[in-house]
Amino acid sequence: MTAPLTLSARNLCRRYGQRDVVQNVSLELGRGEVLGLLGHNGAGKSTTLQMLTGTLTPHSGKVEICGFNLQQQPDQAKACIGYLPETPPLYREMRVDDYLIFAAKLHRVPKSLLPGALDETKQRCGLQKSGRKIIGTLSKGYQQRVGIAQAIIHRPQVIVLDEPTVGLDPAQIREIRSLIRELGDAHSVILSTHLLSEVENVCDRVEIMQKGRLIYGDSSARMQQYGYQPGFVVTLLAPPPLDELQGIAGVENVEALSGTRFRIMHAMEANTSAVLLALAAERGWQAQQLTPLKGSIEDVYTQITENEPA
């Protein structure tokens, strides 16, 4: 890794009662990197993020943020973090502007920089027209934006977002994802999610969490290959007999989904789709649609957990 480290966590452990919720989690994050923490509900994602932001003390392990130890120099370390918890921490009776200024002051933004920071943050989060509104009257999507705004108003080095797109409509999700991408250029971002598509679209790197452990970590592109199954679904309006499809070079298995749709699995390296399309043009099968099979998070999990001794 070439970029300077902004966050490093080593061997974090956390128990609730007798139950180990997080075990031996170590994370590193460089500047300008977006890390996705992927896992099912209850995998320990939120607990890990709480420990990274100092709202929960780990039973053992160490967190360093921008070189400051979170336990020993909490004030300096926390000034470098912006945190959006699962439920956005909003004071419903406050106005958006007042709330954001309060957040900025708490994070020690100097008074002279306040108006600039406020305007910039509102512009980034699309809140220009909501400044005078009372937070309790905003819709869920806008409240989420205010939540993100309070996390970035002091321009922290590390931004921690706990499921930032939950409960938003698709258009808002797209906007927030592009905002996160944009933030990832200058800051380091950790976000937790249980959506694979979020990771694909936003993250540079993925860590998968299961039962309180990190079971897999790699670049986002390579993880998708992990779940990648060599195959595709093709629609042929004038299909040939199954045997003919089976006979194409590299094809391992053909399954008819309906009269015109076929799922074709092929060997890893073979370029079967191109061959099939060429044949279809040549023999008049009327190929209409070809969708590569995508690994779902379930597939990735199954594959990864199969390899891991549980």
Partner 1 sequence: MIFTIANKEFRSLFATPSTWLILGALQFIFAWFFLARLDAYLQVQAQLAFVANAPGATMTIASPLFGTLALMLMMLIPLFTMRLLAEERRNQTLVFLLAAPVSSSQIVIGKFLSLLLFISLVIASCTLMLAILGFGTYLDFGLLLANALGLLLLTASYAALGLYLSALTKQPIVAALSATALSFGLWLIDIGGADNANALRALSPTAHAQSLNAGLIFSADIIYFTLFIATFLLLTIRRVNNNRLYA
**Residues at the contact surface with partner 1, assessed by CB under 8 A:** 50, 53-57, 74-79, 81, 83, 85, 87, 89-94, 98, 102-103, 105-108, 150
How near is the Cβ of 138 to partner 1 at its closest, in Å? 15
Q: Nearer to partner 1 by C-beta: 92 or 222?
A: 92
How near is the Cβ of 98 to partner 1 at its closest, in Å? 7
How near is the Cβ of 212 to partner 1 at its closest, in Å? 15
Residue 11 tokens read as: 């061997």
The DSSP bridge pattern shows strands 213-219 and 205-210 to be antiparallel
How near is the Cβ of 142 to partner 1 at its closest, in Å? 17
CA 208 – CA 224 distance, rounded (Å): 12
Q: Nearer to partner 1 by C-beta: 77 or 180?
A: 77
The DSSP bridge pattern shows strands 5-16 and 231-236 to be unpaired
CB 270 within 8 A of CB 250: yes
How near is the Cβ of 178 to partner 1 at its closest, in Å? 25
Q: Nearer to partner 1 by C-beta: 94 or 248?
A: 94
CB 209 within 8 A of CB 44: yes
Q: Nearer to partner 1 by C-beta: 92 or 140?
A: 92
How near is the Cβ of 69 to partner 1 at its closest, in Å? 14
CA 309 to chain centre: 25
CB 222 within 8 A of CB 284: no
Residue 135 tokens read as: 């937070």
Q: Nearer to partner 1 by C-beta: 91 or 244?
A: 91
Q: Nearer to partner 1 by C-beta: 56 or 265?
A: 56
Q: Nearer to partner 1 by C-beta: 104 or 254?
A: 104
Contacts 24+ apart (CB under 8 A), 212-221: 212/20, 212/21, 212/22, 212/23, 212/25, 212/43, 212/44, 212/47, 213/23, 213/24, 213/25, 213/44, 214/25, 214/26, 214/27, 215/304, 215/305, 215/308, 216/304, 216/308, 220/36
- In single-letter form, the type of residue at position 41 comes to N
How near is the Cβ of 54 to partner 1 at its closest, in Å? 6
